[in-house]
Structure 1
Amino acid sequence: MNEANFIVREPLLDPKQRVIGFQLSWQSPDQSTEVSIDSLNLLLAFVAEHLHDDEKGFLLGDSLLFLEAVPELLQADALTLLPPGNTVLILQKKYFASETAFEAVKNLRQLGYGICLRGAEITTLERSFFSQISHIEVKLNAANFASQAKVYASLKRSSVRMVARNVSTWPDFDACSALGLDSFVGKLHLTPRPSAAPKALNTSQTTILQLMEMVRKNADIQQLESVVKRDATLAYKLLRYINSAGFGLRTEVQSLKHAVQMLGYSPLYRWLTLLLATASTSGYSPVLLETAIVRGRFAELLGQLKMSKAEAENLFVAGMFSLLDRLLGLPMSEVLATIQLPESVTEALISRGGAFGSYLALAEACELNSALVGSLADSLKISSDELNTAHLSALVWAKNISLAA
């Protein structure tokens, strides 16, 4: 692979803030420069190779996958590896002027693939396109929202789904949801919704923190079980996570004691970190939790390339904790005051410094399309192929975990 190619992602949200898919693209520092046909073909082939399994099929389950395309790619071999019902190709409006491209679009639509129209002026959009597209990308213009609302209402009566961009505030998100927009692409999910609720740990979170501290100190298993038994729901969710496809166990774990016997204390700590995030009652966005899971796993996989298994597992904790303040609705300083973490994890969380800081920063950069991706990868001696493989693997792993939640 070309060393300059790094996959970045944007989550696709539904009106309930759930992740329904991802848009994957190469990092493009210069947004004014069109990505070459070869680069787009390379991305399509790489994604198809890593998200398709001959036995399991599409590894992201029911998630949608949005990929930028050009007419030359509409008959690419790699496209046949991606399920039509989950794959949406983004095409600029200008390509619809080509009769050859339009015929290729019609053929793909008959096979069930989605087509997302980009760059159209929706106020003057030719209705003849509607029969051949599944989605249309719209950009919110807050200054002209009233006139846009009328167009959105008109589009809502068609079968074309609207994908919104430029939605930067939660009030705008709510307004677009009310108007019938189907999905949203962007980074709004990293900004938690304002909450009037008092910010304090609930009973379940307090119990989980107690368990995490006990696990850190290798407390007797009977002591752990006595704490877990106070909360039947907590015990159930913990076993659900441990038995999820994300862990890949061949034998079902029946109890906490069984889990420690099979796995030891270190993996148990990571699952408690997950439980701590999901035990929030502050009304956090579901996408925030999935982002934390992906970030944690992504950082861990990067760490596995260069460090021990135990150190890499600590990177997972660092990734999860990096969004825990937003998930819990508490300042990071208060979150860190509730539990003693390894110094390397704390340093990474506070300053992105220390042995773990660059790994965590690199995982973040790929979700933010940061210009630092290349330099961070170089500093850690991680190739683009290794980075992109870890990124897609983290998405698959998080999908399996989400199914167990």
Structure 2
Amino acid sequence: MDNIFVARQPIYNRELEVVAYELLYRGDQPGHAGVVDGDQATSQVLVNTFTEIGLERLVGDVPAFVNLTRPYLTGEYELPFPPGQVALEVLEDIRPDPPLVEGIRQLSDQGYLIVLDDFDYRPEFDPVLDCADLVKLEVQQASETELARTVAQMRRFNVQLLAEKIETDWQFRICRDLGFDFFQGYYFSRPNLVSGKRHANSKIGLMPLLAKLNDEDADFAELETLIAQDQVLVYRLLRCANSAAVAPRRPIESLRNALLMLGTRTVRTWILLISLSAVDDKPPELCRIALARARMCELLAREFRTASPTACFTAGLLSLLDSLLNQPMEEVVSSLPLTDEIKEALLHRAGPLGRVLQCVCDYEQGHWHALDSTPAESSLAKAYLQALTWADDIMDVITPTRSPHSLAGT
């Protein structure tokens, strides 16, 4: 099978650690991105995940959330995986009649994690809630009063709560204060919807380093002086230089040797990632997304031949800075010595760089309708998977191995 399409969206716990990924359907016919048949969409996700791509490659050591249609829940279609690393999402439009309730109860008894998606409480769902482990509540249009009322209703049942479609810093903080256990939404990966407030002192001093890293005229002596002020950063850079991901020819023991061996672009990339991963009030997953986005931009630029791969990599890497720094992108861009082409891509998704970056963001966020006319659409899935693997390898060096708080039932 040449064209396989599965995307993923991270799910976070209260400490902003990634504890799961939701797997998203993408049709396998170019020009036909919409979900026409739910059973077929579910089957395609399962086939692509378990037989073509591999679950571990997509989600690592955390659970995968998969939407299931009625035939899978009632036992008409057999699930191709045992209980363990997959959570079963019950879609919001499924009617809770006796066959469905019995099917869900049997799956729960077998050890499957049961998740109610886009849940809107009605009394007839009580039997399903008795079997469920986790409830996903859409918070995008809800007021704080409405959310508090819904949370109080759910507390009558033995379920954990996930706030989905979080798009602002305010929504995230309200949901956390109301006691939600898990969080999901574009707030964590869509920079244009993030509040511009500043919160963490850990970001102080980061902008001068970022500016120097993106200054084409900066030499190694300047970089070495600036980097040497942070011994933790020096240690982590040396660790990166010695990692298998960089494939060194010999052990690197000094900062100067690391800078000379790695080269300007690699040094800038690694230090930028290390610095951003140390921001203490944002999830490290943002760095993973930024790195995968940068790599996918680079790969597509090479294939489409419409923009500089190097510039596309930089644009992708910097495209989440406003989320990480809690500053409007206009402020971030104005403080960095970037080319006009990269600035236009970051601010307006304009120009050849901007079009590549927008294409990558659309694929990453599941905006399939926007990709129907994209050249070489079949290349997107291949580039996406290569970028995920590359980003995971890099992040395994930059950050400690993920040790997420377990979800109930896993």
Shared fold by TM > 0.5?
Answer: yes
Q: 1:64 corresponds to which residue?
A: 63
Match 1:349 to one of 346, 349, 371: 346
Q: 1:149 corresponds to which residue?
A: 148
Identity %, equivalent residues:
25
Give yes or no for contact 1:50–1:392 (8 Å, CA) kept in 2. Answer: no
> 1:328/1:152 Cα in 2 relative to 1: closer, same or farther (>3 Å)?
closer
Q: 1:387 corresponds to which residue?
A: 380
After TM superposition, the score normalised by the length of structure 1 is: 0.75
CA distance in 2, matches of 1:401, 1:182: 29
> 1:185/1:350 Cα in 2 relative to 1: closer, same or farther (>3 Å)?
closer
Q: 2:268 corresponds to which residue?
A: 269
CA distance in 1, matches of 2:224, 2:201: 29
CA distance in 1, matches of 2:331, 2:130: 54
Give yes or no for contact 2:293–2:317 (8 Å, CA) kept in 1. Answer: yes
Q: 2:403 corresponds to which residue?
A: none
> 1:217/1:140 Cα in 2 relative to 1: closer, same or farther (>3 Å)?
closer
CA distance in 2, matches of 1:151, 1:332: 35
Counting only pairs closer than 5 Å after superposition, residues 96-111 of structure 1 correspond to structure 2 as 97=97, 99=99, 105-106=104-105, 108-110=107-109
Report the residue type matching 1:161 in the other structure. Answer: Q
CA distance in 2, matches of 1:138, 1:330: 28
Report the residue type matching 1:364 in the other structure. Answer: C
Q: 1:314 corresponds to which residue?
A: 311
Give yes or no for contact 1:10–1:187 (8 Å, CA) kept in 2. Answer: no
Q: Deviations over 1:57-86 (max 9, x none)?
A: 555334332221224446878843xx8443
CA distance in 2, matches of 1:224, 1:169: 35
SS in 2 for 1:195: coil
Greater per-residue helix proportion = 1
Q: Tell me how far 1:356 sits from its aligned partner.
A: 2.4
- Residue 356 of structure 2 corresponds to residue 359 of structure 1: yes
Q: 1:239 corresponds to which residue?
A: 238
Q: 2:174 corresponds to which residue?
A: 175
CA distance in 2, matches of 1:332, 1:147: 32
CA distance in 1, matches of 2:111, 2:250: 38
Structure 1 gap segments, 5+ residues each? none
Structure 2 gap segments, 5+ residues each? 400-410
> 1:392/1:160 Cα in 2 relative to 1: closer, same or farther (>3 Å)?
farther
- Residue 332 of structure 2 corresponds to residue 335 of structure 1: yes
After TM superposition, the score normalised by the length of structure 2 is: 0.74
Match 1:210 to one of 193, 209, 212: 212
CA distance in 2, matches of 1:132, 1:176: 24
Q: Tell me how far 1:360 sits from its aligned partner.
A: 0.6
Q: Deviations over 1:310-358 (max 9, x none)?
A: 9434322211212223433445454344443455434432443344222
Give yes or no for contact 1:204–1:231 (8 Å, CA) kept in 2. Answer: no
Q: Tell me how far 1:106 sits from its aligned partner.
A: 4.8
> 1:270/1:33 Cα in 2 relative to 1: closer, same or farther (>3 Å)?
closer
CA RMSD of aligned residues (A): 4.3
Q: Tell me how far 1:200 sits from its aligned partner.
A: 12
Match 2:194 to one of 192, 205, 208: 192
Q: 2:44 corresponds to which residue?
A: 42
Give yes or no for contact 2:291–2:391 (8 Å, CA) kept in 1. Answer: yes
SS in 1 for 2:374: helix
Q: 2:402 corresponds to which residue?
A: none
Q: 1:116 corresponds to which residue?
A: 115
SS in 2 for 1:181: coil
> 1:111/1:261 Cα in 2 relative to 1: closer, same or farther (>3 Å)?
farther
Give yes or no for contact 2:167–2:194 (8 Å, CA) kept in 1. Answer: no
Q: 1:219 corresponds to which residue?
A: 219
CA distance in 2, matches of 1:110, 1:271: 47
Give yes or no for contact 1:358–1:376 (8 Å, CA) kept in 2. Answer: no
> 1:184/1:201 Cα in 2 relative to 1: closer, same or farther (>3 Å)?
closer
Give yes or no for contact 2:344–2:354 (8 Å, CA) kept in 1. Answer: yes
Q: Deviations over 1:152-173 (max 9, x none)?
A: 2353464422223354444343
Report the residue type matching 1:292 in the other structure. Answer: A
> 1:124/1:107 Cα in 2 relative to 1: closer, same or farther (>3 Å)?
closer
Q: 2:406 corresponds to which residue?
A: none
> 1:62/1:371 Cα in 2 relative to 1: closer, same or farther (>3 Å)?
closer
CA distance in 1, matches of 2:157, 2:117: 17
CA distance in 1, matches of 2:257, 2:388: 28
